[in-house]
Amino acid sequence: MKTFVIAALLAVVASPRVIYAADAKISVAGIRIGEKVPEGVKDILYVHGEGTRLMMYLEKPGQVFIGVERDACKFELFTDDKGTDLFGPLGHAPDADDWLGAFGPKISENGKYCCLEVQAPGLPAKDATKIRFSGTLMLNCGSAPKTVEQKNVPLKKGSKITVGPVQFDISSVKPDGNGLIVDLHARKSLERIIKFAFFDAAGKPIGGTRDSMESSYMLGIYNITETYKLSRKVPSMTVKISYFDKVENIAVPVQAETGLGIGP
């Protein structure tokens, strides 16, 4: 498959919070094209998806991606080199869920990469040899890491953690062998949070690992629960929270063209 990647251009957005993405790098990871098949065939084909999917990832030296401003992202086009509009079968311009996906774009755990999968219902023309995508992602980038602590947090339901950019409530504490399972609940995005660390009253690490996270967002309200496993049972703890003290928006125009693996 022949792939040609166009580097991100200068973002033109009139806002003091937006920085430029002149040196962002966009790479095409792959494409997948699925013909329409009967319902019975879908049931027995392994991971079949109808339509055209383009997978890309981007990086920008010196920046740590922490979140996406979905409503500020802009779609321009997704076509083949014959002019076929791959979102044409929708009958309308794609909204955010159509071109960004219900849960995307996705950011790597280290914040170095942002991955975007664009999946359209249409198929390229039979004689097409390339597909093209153009749009702009508005990403949040974190910098100026900072650590704060709150001492003597009782390990019981209802205790609050008020330091840092997000307030947490302890919504559940359960025994787990020699340790504890603690649920931390928040009603604000956790994108600025880097990590938690837990200590006992003497300042010794308790040892805690994140076990799971449940998250929902509706009508502008987050509902997030992070579950941590603590390796020891203690009545109270000191919580240290590392987070990004500074957040900036970065507008990244994404323009990519890739071959379909056919033709000269």
For 83-103, the pLDDT digits (tens) are 999 999 999 999 999 999 988
- What pLDDT does 46 receive? 57
- With a cut of 60, say whether residue 36 has pLDDT above it: yes
- With a cut of 60, say whether residue 47 has pLDDT above it: no
- What pLDDT does 120 receive? 96
pTM above 0.85, yes or no: no
- Note every long-range contact of 146-151, with CB atoms under 8 Å and residues 24 or more positions apart, other chains counting: 146/242, 146/243, 146/244, 146/245, 147/240, 147/241, 147/242, 147/243, 148/240, 148/241, 148/243, 149/238, 149/239, 149/240, 149/241, 150/238, 150/239, 150/241, 151/238
Residues in the chain, total? 264
- With a cut of 80, say whether residue 116 has pLDDT above it: yes
pLDDT band at 3 (very low <50, low <70, confident <90, very high): very low
pLDDT band at 125 (very low <50, low <70, confident <90, very high): very high
- What pLDDT does 22 receive? 57
- What pLDDT does 98 receive? 94
Average pLDDT, rounded, for the chain: 86
* Closest CA relative to residue 252, chosen from 80, 81, 115, 108: 115
- What pLDDT does 67 receive? 93
- What pLDDT does 247 receive? 93
Least confident of 20-34, 105-119, 195-209: 20-34
